[in-house]
Amino acid sequence: MAIAKSSSLYSSRRRRNAIAMGLSLAATLFGLGWLVLILGVLLYEGVSGLSLQVFTEMTPPPGSTGGLLNPIVGSLIMTTIAVLIGTPIGILAGTYMAEYGRYDKLTSVVRFINDILLSAPSIVIGLFIYEVVVTPMGHFSGWAGALSLAVIVIPVVVRTTEDMLTLVPNPLREAATALGMPRAYVIQRVCYRAAQAGMITGVLLAVARISGETAPLLFTALNNQFWSTNLNAPMASLPAVIFQFALSPYKDWQALAWTGALIITFTVLALSIGARALASASKRS
Amino acid sequence: MADLALQRGAIQAAEIPSRAKVLAQLRLKDAGFRYLTRTAAIMVLLLLGGVIIALVIGAVPALQAFGINFLFEQRWNPVTEKFGALAPIYGTIVTSLIAMLIAVPIGLMIAMFLTELCPQWLRRPIGTAIELLAGIPSIIYGIWGLFVFAPFLQQTLQPFLIATFGSVPVLSTLFEGPPYGIGVLTASLILAIMVLPFITAISRDVFDAVPPVLKEAAYGMGATTWEVVRYVVLPYARVGVIGGVMLGLGRALGETMAVTFVIGNAHKISASLIAPGTTISATIANEFTEAVGDLYTSSLIALGLILFLITFIVLAIARYLLLRIERRIG
């Protein structure tokens, strides 16, 4: 009797365990399924439109053929400027937090605020730049777009720089200091070099993050149907063009939107896989 | 001899000030660099302050015109310039909550799979693949949702829900109306897919941080894997999991492009989940460049301010909880 009871308890526990394990396996397949599904659809819809024309011709008016040259160039220009502005600020701020003020009150406040900026809604960043750049200038511009992207770059770089510098072993700093190196040189010549790979990873992740950002560009850089490298004028960007073309009723515009989506996704995935590979390679060495 | 001594003295005399000079220079550079990094750190603070101040200044005309009622009015009429934020606020909260209801259990299940069940060599590739989901830009989810997911739901899930719950008293109002494909439910499902990687990644990390001794003790007493997770891992990792959930919630609340594509942009609150609705970020993304008149623009900025305050609170709670668990581990 007692044995029967305990064996029924045993089998019910086993059953419950099997159900839970089955569900967790199903959940994992479910999660991976979306990745496969999204990438599969992107490839299916985007590859047919992929041709040299996409990279050599301007965005077309509805009904005629064309490419995505001006938005690709616009995205490249704004991303580059955003990285050039955001990276130095981010690295310097991260340096203060990890090197000079590791145990400061200021550092813990900045870390907290930075983490919030890291996941703040990007559309709010767009509104902020609209208020402080677009309104005073009186018009939308490539500069405004680049600045809003820079605001998104900063927290990513701050976070990785601080983390990577914190991982640099203290004996390195002590040895350099014992040789008579001033603090600034210890940081620039020793710590930066030791943390180099990790810091580059951070910048790559930041580029991956902003190359797909749409919301902050909608009302800062706006969009531009034509070829323009003038940073004082509205500038086309790949995400903004995808947004416009996908919501249009024209079939050829929608096809171009899919092609653009394919380009962006694979750029972003390549960047984040590259960043990961770099990070794990530097960890091993 | 004397010459030499004299010379040496001269050299020394010349060397000492230059050495002092170099040292002074180094000290200056050192202080300069320190000052520079400190300024950059303070700039991060100013950035957040600037965002809040700019939004408040931009929102003043709307808040003056409508007062506190802005929060509780459903009307949104650009022609008569009467605006209220209730419909977007409602849409934002409802879509995010449904997304979390779906994503949290699935995310925890995946984390359990990765930490307890998965063979060691498969952990990294699967973990990376799930994290790549987080890297896909939100506009991609949007275009995919609009052209693939919404038509799919229109033909399968939505008719099924209408047919199944159409005659059940309370639930029928939740699934009332024709299946448009786009709408609150579709937006919620896409949000769920988008926040899933965040919840999974953080849960996996806090699960991994549970001391192995605790788990081994439970296993040693004959507990099943599920019992170990349910009664040992989850209670230990509770605070961190809640932090991860709040972080995902913060993402879901502020998500813009994916939602804009599939929610339908209707400024009304309807009980039905398959009806079109709107969220704060979708309203701003859709209407900002077309907004004419200061009051219209200002109302949209006020919406942005509300969104920022909500996400700020949610993210602050998330960070606080995660900080607590980091301290316990570290």
* Mean per-residue pLDDT of chain A: 90
Per CB-CB distance under 8 Å, the chain A contacts of B248 are none
A6 lies in the same domain as A126: no
**Which has the higher per-residue pLDDT, B287 or B13?**
B287
A20 lies in the same domain as A61: no
A16 lies in the same domain as A147: no
Of B170, B241, B162, B157, the C-alpha closest to B207 is: B241
Query: Other CB atoms closer than 10 Å to residue A136's CB: what's the count?
Result: 7
Query: What is the reported pTM?
Result: 0.90
A252 lies in the same domain as A144: yes
- Is the Cβ pair B251, A119 closer than 8 Å? yes
**Residue B193 C-alpha from the chain's centroid:** 13
- Is the Cβ pair A45, B47 closer than 8 Å? no
A127 lies in the same domain as A28: no
Mean pLDDT, residues A196-202: 91
* Mean per-residue pLDDT of chain B: 88
pLDDT over 70 at B17, yes or no: no
* pLDDT of res. A21: 92
> Any idea which of A22-36, A150-164, A214-228, B34-48 has the lowest mean pLDDT?
A214-228
- The interface predicted TM-score (ipTM) is 0.90
Of B134, B135, B114, B116, the C-alpha closest to B124 is: B114
* pLDDT of res. A17: 92
Mean pLDDT, residues A118-141: 92
- Classify residue A62 as exposed, middle or buried by CB count within 10 Å of its CB (0-12, 13-18, 19+): exposed
- Is the Cβ pair A124, B255 closer than 8 Å? no
- Is the Cβ pair A119, B147 closer than 8 Å? no
pLDDT over 90 at A160, yes or no: yes
A102 lies in the same domain as A40: no
Record the tokens describing residue B260, joined without a space.
């804009």
* pLDDT of res. B329: 63
A34 lies in the same domain as A142: no
Of B189, B151, B154, B158, the C-alpha closest to B175 is: B158
Mean pLDDT, residues B188-216: 92
CATH architecture observed for domain B72-329: Orthogonal Bundle (1.10)
* pLDDT of res. B1: 43
Are B245 and B319 within 8 A, CB to CB?
no
> Please, which pLDDT band fits residue A280 given cuts at 50, 70 and 90?
confident
Mean pLDDT, residues B224-241: 91
Which residue among A31, A49, A67 closes a domain? Answer: A49
Start-to-end CA span in chain B (Å): 67
The length of chain B in residues reads 330
A215 lies in the same domain as A114: yes
CA separation, residue B175 to residues A96, B172, B192 (Å):
54, 5, 19
CA dihedral (A251, A256, A258, A261) positive or negative: negative
Per CB-CB distance under 8 Å, the chain A contacts of B29 are 182, 184
Overall domain count for chain A: 2
Give which of A123, A192, A241, A266 to mutate to test B binding, by max B Cβ within 10 Å.
A123
> Please, which pLDDT band fits residue B2 given cuts at 50, 70 and 90?
very low
**Which CATH number goes with the domain that contains A247?**
1.10.3720.10
* pLDDT of res. B33: 94
Q: Which helix (H) or strand (E) holds B77?
A: strand B76-77
- Is the Cβ pair A28, B288 closer than 8 Å? no
Share of chain B above pLDDT 90, in %: 56
pLDDT in tens, B140-191: 999 999 999 999 998 988 888 888 887 877 778 888 888 888 899 999 999 9
Could you list the residue range(s) of the whole structural domain that residue A139 is in? 53-284
> Any idea which of B31-35, B81-85, B102-106 has the lowest mean pLDDT?
B81-85
Per CB-CB distance under 8 Å, the chain B contacts of A242 are 139, 143
A213 lies in the same domain as A143: yes
- Classify residue B80 as exposed, middle or buried by CB count within 10 Å of its CB (0-12, 13-18, 19+): exposed
A75 lies in the same domain as A188: yes
A38 lies in the same domain as A173: no
pLDDT in tens, B113-141: 999 888 889 998 998 888 888 889 999 99
Are A54 and A242 within 8 A, CB to CB?
no
Mean pLDDT, residues B50-69: 93
CA-based nearest residue in chain A for residue B316 = A116
CA-based nearest residue in chain A for residue B29 = A184
**Which has the higher per-residue pLDDT, B280 or B322?**
B280
Q: Which of B38, B281, B308 sits opposite A100 (nearest CB)?
A: B38
> Under DSSP, is residue B185 helix (H, G, I), strand (E, B) or coil?
helix
Compute the count of residue pairs across chains A and B with CB atoms less than 8 Å apart.
Answer: 261
* pLDDT of res. A1: 46
* pLDDT of res. B10: 52
A95/B37 Cα distance (integer angstroms)? 6
pLDDT over 80 at A2, yes or no: no
A138 lies in the same domain as A75: yes
* Cross-strand partners of B76: B83
* pLDDT of res. B49: 94
* pLDDT of res. B12: 55
Mean pLDDT, residues B303-323: 92
